């Protein structure tokens, strides 16, 4: 059983997945941000691998990518961040990346180095399942769960192929568009959970626009196994990038509030 499988199977409640851009605003503060989120109760850490053209991301995460790249972020820095997280936590770590980064480093090398560093899952945002054969073979050899995104426009045929190949959990996109904080979840967020729920035993994690405990609870009530918050966390990092102590305190406080939503659902 992988660490991701263990996290979902042993919790007895929904999970809170926290996203940050690896290397934002630099290596040390990125590790400190991950630690604060874990101390606050994050069940899984999702690290965005900085990229110059993150087509799935809104302006908040795009700015974080720029800060990380200007600080010298590379895949090696990302793996170093994972290694440092492993020094104080066994919480699963998932990478969200783009195929160009993986291809440029070499698929086998990227996955081998990720596995050695302690990565548990990888999601390649722009990789169609139809073209994922070589990656799937390497992922299996490296002991890494290959995670896929599903959205409301995913065709039945493509969904079937994704369900045949996906490991760890399914990343459900709450709405069409890019990442970013929403004041209210779109109706499609709960609809996609209910639609996919009866088609797979894989855990369902919902991202894009998720920002508050109320959002998380709404998703949990619909049957989601995890809520993924990203832009709201990256906004905190951006706000306090020059005040590390306030950053840590604010991130931990936020994680505590999101973890409390999972506990309330467990007691419902």
Q: Can you say how many angstroms the Cα of residue 5 is from the centroid of all Cα atoms in its chain?
A: 15
* pLDDT for residue 209: 82
Mind listing the pLDDT tens digit for each residue in 118-177? 999 999 999 999 999 999 999 999 999 999 999 988 999 999 999 999 999 999 997 554
Output the pTM of the full model. Answer: 0.94
Q: Is 104 left (phi over 0), alpha (psi -120 to 50) or beta?
A: alpha
* DSSP H stretches of helix in 12-155: 27-40, 59-70, 75-86, 99-105, 107-117, 133-142
Q: What's the CATH code of the domain at 255?
A: 3.20.20.70
- Domain that includes residue 115, residue range: 3-260
Residue 206 main-chain phi, psi, to 5 deg: -110, 130
In a domain, 266, yes or no: no
Is 257 buried (19+), middle (13-18) or exposed (0-12) by CB count in 10 A? middle
In a domain, 28, yes or no: yes
Question: Looking at the predicted structure, is the pLDDT value of residue 3 above 70?
Answer: yes
CB atoms within 10 A of CB 116: 12
Confidence of residue 58 (pLDDT cuts 50, 70, 90): confident
Question: Looking at the predicted structure, is the pLDDT value of residue 56 above 50?
Answer: yes
* pLDDT for residue 177: 47
Confidence of residue 266 (pLDDT cuts 50, 70, 90): low
Identify which of 42, 31, 94, 3 has the alpha carbon closest to the alpha carbon of residue 227: 42
Q: Which residue has the tokens 């088609």?
A: 199
* pLDDT for residue 180: 46
In a domain, 201, yes or no: yes
Total of domains in the chain: 1
In a domain, 185, yes or no: yes
In a domain, 142, yes or no: yes
* pLDDT for residue 134: 94
* pLDDT for residue 181: 53
* pLDDT for residue 267: 60
Mind listing the pLDDT tens digit for each residue in 60-95? 999 999 999 999 999 999 999 999 999 999 999 999
In a domain, 212, yes or no: yes
Average pLDDT over residues 30-42: 98
Q: Which of 72-86, 182-196, 209-223 has the lowest mean pLDDT?
A: 182-196
Average pLDDT over residues 213-237: 94
As a whole number, the mean pLDDT across the chain is 92
Active-site residues, by number, are: 46, 57
In a domain, 265, yes or no: no
Q: Which two tokens stand for residue 209?
A: 């626009």
In a domain, 222, yes or no: yes
* pLDDT for residue 174: 79
What's the N-to-C CA distance of the chain in angstroms?
A: 28
Show Cβ contacts of residue 229 under 8 Å, excluding neighbours closer than 6 positions. Answer: 16, 17, 18, 19, 207, 210, 211, 216, 258
- Element spanning 149, H or E: strand 145-150
Question: Looking at the predicted structure, is the pLDDT value of residue 178 above 60?
Answer: no
Confidence of residue 189 (pLDDT cuts 50, 70, 90): confident
């Amino acid at each position: 059983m992988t660490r991701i499988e263990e996290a979902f199977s042993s919790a007895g409640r929904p999970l809170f997945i926290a996203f940050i851009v690896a290397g934002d605003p630099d290596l040390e503060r990125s590790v400190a941000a991950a630690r604060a989120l874990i101390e606050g109760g994050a069940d899984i850490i999702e690290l965005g691998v900085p990229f110059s053209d993150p087509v799935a991301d809104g302006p908040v995460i795009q700015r974080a990518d720029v800060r990380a790249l200007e600080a010298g972020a590379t895949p090696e820095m990302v793996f170093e961040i994972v290694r440092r997280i492993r020094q104080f936590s066994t919480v699963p770590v998932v990478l969200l990346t783009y195929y160009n980064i993986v291809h440029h480093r070499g698929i086998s090398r990227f996955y081998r180095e990720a596995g050695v560093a302690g990565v548990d899952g990888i999601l390649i945002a722009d990789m169609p399942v139809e073209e994922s054969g070589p990656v799937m073979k390497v992922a299996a050899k490296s002991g890494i769960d290959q995670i896929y995104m599903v959205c409301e426009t995913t065709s039945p045929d493509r969904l079937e192929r994704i369900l045949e190949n996906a490991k760890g959990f399914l990343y459900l996109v709450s709405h069409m568009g890019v990442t970013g904080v929403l004041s209210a979840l779109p109706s499609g967020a709960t609809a996609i959970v209910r639609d996919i729920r009866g088609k797979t035993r894989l855990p369902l994690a919902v991202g894009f626009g998720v920002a508050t405990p109320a959002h998380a609870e709404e998703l949990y009530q619909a049957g989601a196994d995890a809520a993924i918050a990203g832009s709201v966390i990256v906004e905190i990092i951006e706000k306090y990038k020059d005040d590390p102590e306030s950053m840590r305190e604010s991130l931990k406080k936020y994680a505590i509030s999101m973890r409390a939503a999972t506990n309330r659902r467990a007691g419902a």
